[in-house]
Structure 1
């Protein structure tokens, strides 16, 4: 009896010793506040990193908040409401051009193409961009990457967006799809999964991809204030390493497996639809397979901005891009 009691007491004592150790481990996890510009299947590798525990493996507790819009996301970052922002790289250029002693630095790329598609009201078997001439086109918000890429692609195909068609840009992003369903426009520029939903419902038909047409650009990147990066280099390195693991996982796994993994972040979206969207983005190479934002992509971004008359001034790659963390992540 005494032997049994002694064993029980030792076991209980061991449990009590383990509790503080577990608590200490939990407490040492570094909390990182991330503001994402929107909730989108386009950002699949980020959700994979969360769902697979890649951030946790690096000792990071990532708190993800959706801030809905580039302006709000950047404002949240600048006001220190977030440590890291996931948003288009053009926003860092806008902030820099306004003059700042603490610029926003791009340190890891997530998506490398535009994520929008050209949707036609009518089904077209043999689409050509010439068909847009004389049509009414519902475009994205002026100054945003979707709109700039849209104009760049149209010009690439010999179409002046302000002369050759009726370009409508005064409809809010949230209302664009509803406006098209209500009868406005012959064509509309839409993100997924709306574009695929329209096809399923017979309300519209995908005829072209702006992402395929525009080439590689730093469409969505993780960025932070220069001061934060300087004071939290270990955190940024760990964050980038976790992201790279997720990017590699997405690159080597099927759309079906990816869809299952990220479904908890899209509870109101049908699993099959998530799979369709993931497959479409994988097929056109939208998901960056590593976090490096190279100089060619950076210059392509500024060319697109310049074509849309939205580039305040040219900014050198090494001024607003830091690839050292991405390179370290890939070296291990």
Structure 2
């Protein structure tokens, strides 16, 4: 009987020790990220998770996809997430509304537009003027995809509100299915959806908005100023993990990257993922470091102004923190 009691006590003690060790080993900082969509465009983020670059820095990531920039910002402002991955224009909108806790851009992920122009019909010799008198299935008004789309159209002498029929009343998450069901002659899509449609014969990629619009802070990691003030070490460790992924991607092949991020696109063939990665790599869409510089910030506001969506001009230093990225790189 006494022997049995000793065994039970030993097991209890061992259990408490195991729990204690587990608690000590799980001392990583938990960071909740709300991403604006699930896209191969965000490959460096998935690489940072899958290659353990965040984990090596003591960061445990909880990733949630929240479709739409407005929804990401709502999640961030209501403390449903610590960090948002979304277009930098959203931080300007919040600031213009008079927020006393502004959202700060601290690490850039992508540096070009990530959408492609997809035509319903095959086009041998595409020219932008072919969009005149067509039906164009656009993106959400005030969002970066739509503003860049309008910027590029105007660059090619097309008035998006008079020279074609612009459809903007479809929710972001339903745009691809609307095109697949027959709405629109042209649509603006991210990868891998653009390549999937091309393979299935639903549409044909004819141009890249990324190569047409120049460098812009298209998607960045941002957080409320209060969160950054309260968690400076966490933000720095997060940025360092991201930078490691950005460096790795620069030397890795499209195939290597595709194999790493495939778990995030289980319904997409590896070959299509690789093709999409190669498209983004070849046009320099993935930022090579986390720094969001002044020229990119000003280009963003020029695009917003051209679209009539810039509520006010905001200085770079007001909503962008480059000190963290600078220290990580050094």
> What is the correspondence of 1:1-332 to structure 2 with a 5 Å cutoff?
19=18, 22-331=21-330
Q: Which residue is equivalent to 2:11?
A: none
Q: Which residue is equivalent to 1:12?
A: none
Distance 1:18 1:117, change over 3 A: same
Q: TM-score, normalising length from structure 1?
A: 0.92
Can you list the C-alpha shifts for 1:175-227, whole angstroms capped at 9, x where unaligned? 32233233322211111111111111222111100011001111110000111
Can you list the C-alpha shifts for 1:37-77, whole angstroms capped at 9, x where unaligned? 11111111001010011111111111111122211111111
The answer to whether the 8 A contact 2:68-2:172 is kept is no
SS of corresponding position for 1:28: coil
- How far has the Cα of 1:24 moved from its partner? 4.5
- How far has the Cα of 1:119 moved from its partner? 0.9
SS of corresponding position for 1:328: helix
- How far has the Cα of 1:310 moved from its partner? 0.6
4+ residue segments displaced more than 3 Å: 15-22
The answer to whether the 8 A contact 2:135-2:164 is kept is yes
The answer to whether the 8 A contact 2:111-2:218 is kept is yes
- How far has the Cα of 1:146 moved from its partner? 0.5
Distance across 1 between alignment mates of 2:168 and 2:15:
63
Can you list the C-alpha shifts for 1:267-323, whole angstroms capped at 9, x where unaligned? 222111111111111111111010000000000000111111111000000000000
Distance across 2 between alignment mates of 1:265 and 1:183:
28
Distance across 1 between alignment mates of 2:181 and 2:18:
59
SS of corresponding position for 1:206: strand
The answer to whether the 8 A contact 2:67-2:172 is kept is no
Corresponding pairs, count = 318
Structure 1 residue ranges without an equivalent (≥5) = 1-14
